[in-house]
Amino acid sequence: MATDVRFVLEESFSNEISARSISKQKGEFASLLEFAAFGVVESWPRRVLVINLINTSRFGLMSVDLTSTVQLRSGNEMPVMGLGTWLLTRDTAETVLYAINLGYRLIDTSSDYGTQPGIGEAIRRAGVDRESIYITTKAEETDDSYLRTISNLKELGLNYIDLMLIHRPPATGAGEDLWEGLIKAREEGLVRDIGVSNYSISLMDRLIEASGEIPAVNQIEWSPFGYSWKMYDYCADKGIVIQAYSPLTRTRRLNDEKLRRLAKKYGKSPAQILIRWNLQLGTVPIPKANQKRHLEENIEVFDFAISEEDMNLLNGFNEYYSSLGWSLQYLEKAA
Ligand SMILES: NC(=O)c1ccc[n+]([C@@H]2O[C@H](COP(=O)([O-])OP(=O)(O)OC[C@H]3O[C@@H](n4cnc5c(N)ncnc54)[C@H](OP(=O)(O)O)[C@@H]3O)[C@@H](O)[C@H]2O)c1
């Protein structure tokens, strides 16, 4: 069984701190960091460093796998990667069943994807323990989120949801009512954790201020071509896990020449490099795949590691790109 440690170094590292002095800090934890899946310590001097150390019981970078988890603020654990199901409408139940049999444990859905009934069917047919599957689903911004939780449960045919998100902020306000509805659903045991999606920092601040409740997760578009250190640092500081949606850029950047060169160097596909980048960052990718060969390929990411130098190269791809056709939704409008 995987053991996960969310290890937060809250020393006030200034931005100027050198890699050398970080290495000294690292010395103290050498036995842990030697096999840390996430190499942020060496490369990014940041004020707050969050390092997810995975599988501390097994020691070894390669031992991170689909059963590895990250810990949420609540103490509950979430798999390190999952399966997205937007447009996964071709043989949904069959495909999700195939994914579960391959070892996928986190499935992302939403009331508006039309995949909840198929996912529920797949879980039942797989005959796996409900506790071993992690379901993320969502309420729309126009919903009564409490009632939506109940109808999602019905569609899934489950008696609890692991993580329920506000799909996107409403047109006005920060979604305080939606948040209250999710808090109520959690209090009644209908959901285990609650979070948001497509939220900016200031909107999360407003929710937190109104309720005292910090989201467990912000699910946002996230790939080397489009991400935000500001958001990364904010989430690390608050203990919010980033779930990375459209991590494959909906295929749009898979032919990028720089990415292809890197993929060739590692003998991996561009998609695998994008997924692995997320894993090493400690963000949780949820690539969607309807095709079996894609489902298989996307989990063959635990037998290699991207070097620190190449992580930096990938980080340099950032152009705040959004494959959804507009700018990254969580960036502050003025930014
Ligand atoms: N919260 C939100 O607002 C929000 C928004 C967008 C997405 N999401 C979630 O995040 C999930 C993932 O994002 P996404 O579906 O937008 O895009 P994505 O995962 O970046 O890309 C999915 C596309 O990549 C293809 N693909 C998968 N594996 C591949 C591989 N190894 N090589 C080449 N192509 C591959 C898929 O093809 P096939 O299907 O043909 O295999 C599909 O066309 C969604 O399904 C959804 O669950 C959430």
b/e burial code for range 194-221 (CB count within 10 A of at least 16 → b): bbbbbbbbebbebbbeeeeeebbbbbbb
Which of 35-39, 176-180, 231-235 is predicted with the least confidence, judged by mean pLDDT? 35-39
Choose among 323, 178, 194, 206: nearest CA to 256.
323
Question: Cβ of 124: how many Cβ atoms within 10 Å?
Answer: 14
Confirm or reject: Cβ of 89 under 6 Å from ligand 1. Answer: no
pLDDT of residue 194: 98
- CB of 198 closer than 6 angstroms to any ligand 1 atom: yes
Is residue 248 in contact with ligand 1, taking CB distance under 6 Å?
yes
Class of domain 67-315: alpha beta
Q: Which residue out of 86, 113, 164, 243 has the highest number of ligand 1 atoms within 8 Å of its CB and is therefore the one to mutate?
A: 86
- List the structure tokens of 331: 């960036």
Q: What is the pLDDT of residues 120-138, one digit of tens each?
A: 999 999 999 999 999 999 9
**Model confidence at 36: pLDDT above 90:** no
**Does pLDDT of 30 surpass 50?**
no
Question: Model's pTM, two decimal places?
Answer: 0.86
Mutation test residue for ligand 1: of 248, 268, 300, 324, the one with most atoms within 8 Å of CB: 248
Contacts of 293 (CB under 8 A, 6+ apart): none
Q: Is the pLDDT of residue 47 over 70?
A: no
Atom of ligand 1 nearest to the CA of 298: 31
Could you identify the atom of ligand 1 that is nearest to the CA of residue 223? Answer: 20
Q: For residue range 164-190, list pLDDT tens digits in order.
A: 999 999 999 999 999 999 999 999 999
Q: Is 48 a residue whose pLDDT tops 80?
A: no
Average pLDDT over residues 207-234: 97
The more confident residue out of 27 and 320 is 320
Nearest-CA neighbor of 166 among 192, 189, 187, 136? Answer: 136
| 243-288 confidence digits (pLDDT tens) | 999 999 999 999 999 999 999 999 999 999 999 999 999 999 999 9
Q: Does residue 199 register a pLDDT over 50?
A: yes
pLDDT reported for residue 63: 58
Name the residue at shortest CA distance from atom 21 of ligand 1. 250
Per-residue pLDDT, averaged over 23-36, amounts to 38
CA of 306 to the centre of ligand 1 (A): 22
Residue 332 pLDDT grade (very low, low, confident, very high; cuts 50, 70, 90): confident
Q: Which two tokens stand for residue 313?
A: 């190269």
Q: How far is the CA of 36 from the centre of ligand 1 (A)?
A: 27
Q: CA torsion 45→47→48→50, rounded to 10°?
A: -10
Q: In what order do the strands lie in the sheet with 161-166?
A: 83-84, 106-108, 134-139, 161-166, 191-197, 217-221, 241-245, 284-285
Question: Which pLDDT score is estimated for 211?
Answer: 96
Using the CB atoms, write b or e for 86-109: b if 16+ within 10 Å. bebeeebbebbbbbbeeebbbbbb
Least confident of 78-82, 192-196, 328-332: 328-332
Pocket test for ligand 1, best of 89, 294, 300, 322 (most atoms within 8 A of CB): 294
> Can you tell me which atom of ligand 1 is nearest the CA of 109?
47
pLDDT of 316 above 80 = yes
Mean pLDDT across the stretch 300-319?
96
Catalytic residues: 113
Q: Where in the chain is the domain with CATH 3.20.20.100?
A: 67-315
**Ligand 1 center–CA 289 separation, angstroms:** 6
Q: What residue's CA is closest to ligand 1, atom 14?
A: 246
When the pLDDT of each residue in the chain is averaged and rounded to a whole number, the result is 85
With beta carbons less than 8 A apart as the criterion, state whether 296 and 269 touch.
Answer: no
- Residue 27 vs residue 167, higher pLDDT: 167
In single-letter form, the type of residue at position 5 comes to: V
Q: Is 86 in the pocket of ligand 1 (CB under 6 A)?
A: yes
* Cα 81 to ligand 1 centre (Å): 13
- Residues 82-113: tens digit of each pLDDT: 999 999 999 999 999 999 999 999 999 999 99
